[in-house]
């Protein structure tokens, strides 16, 4: 706690001589009164105590009473009343006019959010179907490594963080914050939280990436994915099919495994549809054939969403963020997704797309995720 108090104080004062505090008392006094350059008013007492209580509540709620007693004992005279006011908020939910309203509002919103356990969406597919790209498209950033060769080798969880408007908090052996979201890669963490660039950005949701199932060179990938499917530590499965290779034996094996090993809702995306050609491929038929195939495999009334993960990711990122190769592809995709043939959402709903991003099917997928997970 002392370390956190110090950091809190430093974030305001800009001072970084942490060792100059000889005791808790002097650190707290400093955080409260602060020898702030040009700003000596004691305006942040309440914020300081709120933060201390939040931290204690989150990590050791049984110690809240102890914290109140500790503060009464240790805080300087000028902050005693503020400390008492905040005690009553956290210990007996008593409001107090002296406390800034914004802090109450924040606490209400925080409680509301904290009580909502995130729903978890497990994304599975065979190799290179586009799981990682689709997850990138859903969260709106390039986080998961994607390649034409094999890449994802372990489970990676991405949580939507409704409050942190910028940056990403990553967890592996230790947790860290990175202000630049795309400077991190899912190779370096096992879970992370960031605010999704998506219509799901105010929802309590976690999206889980898995390794390609049919990787003969790395049988452990199959095991990782199978173990997770069996674990039941998720609320629904999104199966990603590659629109170019449907109905393969590998696909049947994975679908069978899912069918036999989970009771959770499952729905389907057909990806990479931007690669189709109007003169050769009927997207309508691809969807229809997949539906019949799934029904034969005993998936009753399967929900199928046609998408282009790559186009949706590019359109969400914006042309300016792309390198020269990708910009060229961006232009081609923009032209494609202005044509009726590539209006993917029109294949499964009445709605006609009014912009290329809608046409990629990603918004429709987000809506379906929202409905299936009851977010
Ligand atoms: N044209 C096009 N390419 C895509 C699309 N989605 C993914 N790709 C490409 O397909 C390749 C594989 O994509 P990934 O997202 O890595 O596939 P994955 O399913 O995560 O692969 P593994 O982790 O190896 O199982 C990459 O080169 C992607 O750029 C899409 O919708 N359209
Ligand atoms: Mg992957």
SS3 label, residue 241: strand
Q: Which ligand ends up closest to the CA of 149?
A: 1
Nearest CA to ligand 1 atom 6: 130
Nearest CA to ligand 1 atom 32: 272
Atom of ligand 1 nearest to the CA of 148: 27
Atom of ligand 1 nearest to the CA of 146: 16
Nearest CA to ligand 1 atom 14: 130
Q: Give the per-residue pLDDT at 343.
A: 97
The sign of the CA dihedral 276, 278, 280, 283 is positive
Q: Give the per-residue pLDDT at 162.
A: 78
Nearest CA to ligand 1 atom 8: 130
Q: Which two tokens stand for residue 12?
A: 């305001």
Nearest CA to ligand 1 atom 2: 272
Q: Give the per-residue pLDDT at 37.
A: 47
CA of 269 to the centre of ligand 2 (A): 15
Residues 263-287: b if buried by 16+ CB within 10 A, e if exposed: ebebbbbbbbbbebeeeeeebeebb
Q: Give the per-residue pLDDT at 352.
A: 86
CA of 163 to the centre of ligand 1 (A): 30
CA of 272 to the centre of ligand 2 (A): 14
CA of 47 to the centre of ligand 1 (A): 46
Residues 115-124: b if buried by 16+ CB within 10 A, e if exposed: eeebbbbbbb
What CATH number should be reported for the domain whose range is 119-373?
3.40.50.300
- Report the chain's C-alpha Rg in angstroms: 25
Atom of ligand 1 nearest to the CA of 213: 25
C-alpha–C-alpha distance, residues 68 and 87, integer Å: 6
C-alpha–C-alpha distance, residues 32 and 44, integer Å: 7
Nearest CA to ligand 1 atom 12: 128
Residues within 6 Å of ligand 1 by CB: 125, 127-133, 146-148, 150-152, 211-212, 271-272, 274-275, 308-310
CA 60 → CA 63, 91, 110, distances in Å?
A: 6, 14, 17
Angle separating helix axes 45-60 and 2-13, nearest 10 degrees: 150
Q: Give the per-residue pLDDT at 175.
A: 77
CA of 334 to the centre of ligand 2 (A): 25
Instruction: With CA atoms as reference, report the closest residue to 12 among 2, 81, 35.
Output: 35
- pTM listed for this prediction: 0.81
C-alpha–C-alpha distance, residues 158 and 163, integer Å: 15
- In this structure, are strands 175-178 and 156-160 parallel, antiparallel, or unpaired? unpaired
CA of 235 to the centre of ligand 2 (A): 20
SS3 label, residue 237: strand
CA of 224 to the centre of ligand 2 (A): 13
Helix, strand, coil abundance in the chain, percent, nearest 5: 50, 10, 35
Atom of ligand 1 nearest to the CA of 149: 24
Q: Where in the chain is the domain with CATH 3.40.50.300?
A: 119-373
**Each residue's pLDDT expressed in tens, for the chain with a length of 375 residues:** 565 566 665 655 555 455 565 666 776 776 676 544 455 554 578 888 898 888 888 778 888 999 899 888 888 888 899 999 999 999 988 888 899 888 988 888 878 777 778 999 999 999 999 999 999 999 999 987 666 555 778 899 999 987 767 899 898 887 788 888 888 888 888 999 999 999 999 899 999 999 999 887 888 889 999 999 999 999 999 999 999 998 899 999 999 999 999 999 999 999 999 999 999 999 999 999 999 999 999 999 999 999 999 999 999 999 999 999 999 999 999 999 999 999 999 999 988 889 999 999 999 999 999 999 998
Q: What is the DSSP string of 58-115?
A: HHHGGGHHHHHHHHHHHS-GGGHHHHHHHHHHHHH----TTS-HHHHHHHHHHHHHHT
């Amino acid at each position: 706690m002392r370390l956190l108090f110090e950091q809190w104080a430093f974030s305001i004062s800009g001072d970084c001589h942490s060792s100059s505090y000889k005791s808790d008392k002097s650190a707290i006094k400093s955080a409260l009164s602060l020898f702030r350059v040009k700003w000596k008013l004691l305006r942040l007492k309440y914020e300081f105590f709120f933060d201390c209580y939040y931290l204690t509540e989150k990590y050791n709620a049984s110690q809240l009473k102890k914290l109140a007693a500790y503060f009464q004992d240790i805080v300087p005279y000028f902050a005693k009343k503020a400390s008492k006011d905040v005690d009553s908020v956290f210990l007996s939910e008593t409001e107090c006019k002296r406390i800034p309203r914004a802090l109450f509002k924040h606490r209400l919103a925080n409680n509301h959010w904290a009580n909502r356990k995130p729903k978890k969406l497990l994304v599975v597919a065979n190799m290179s179907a586009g799981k990682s790209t689709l997850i990138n498209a859903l969260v709106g950033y390039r986080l998961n490594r994607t390649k034409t060769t094999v890449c994802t080798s372990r489970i990676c969880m991405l949580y939507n963080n409704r409050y942190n408007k910028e940056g990403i908090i990553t967890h592996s052996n230790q947790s860290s914050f990175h202000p630049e979201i795309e400077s991190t890669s899912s190779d370096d963490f096992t879970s992370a939280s960031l605010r999704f660039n998506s219509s799901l950005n105010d929802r309590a949701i976690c999206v889980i990436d898995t390794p390609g199932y049919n990787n003969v060179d790395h049988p452990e990938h199959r095991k990782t994915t199978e173990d997770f499917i069996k674990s039941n530590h998720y609320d629904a499965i999104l199966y990603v099919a590659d629109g170019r290779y449907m109905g393969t034996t590998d696909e049947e094996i994975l679908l069978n495994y899912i069918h036999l090993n989970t009771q959770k809702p499952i729905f389907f995306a057909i990806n990479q549809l931007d690669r189709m050609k109007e003169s050769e491929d009927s997207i309508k038929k691809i969807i229809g054939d997949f539906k019949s195939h799934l029904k034969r495999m005993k998936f009753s009334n399967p929900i199928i969403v046609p998408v282009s993960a790559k186009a949706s990711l590019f359109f969400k990122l914006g042309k300016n963020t792309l390198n020269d190769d990708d910009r060229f592809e961006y232009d081609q995709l923009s032209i494609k997704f202005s044509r009726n043939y590539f209006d993917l959402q029109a294949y499964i709903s009445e709605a006609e797309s009014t912009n290329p991003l809608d046409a990629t099917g990603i918004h429709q997928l987000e809506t379906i995720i929202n409905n299936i997970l009851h977010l």
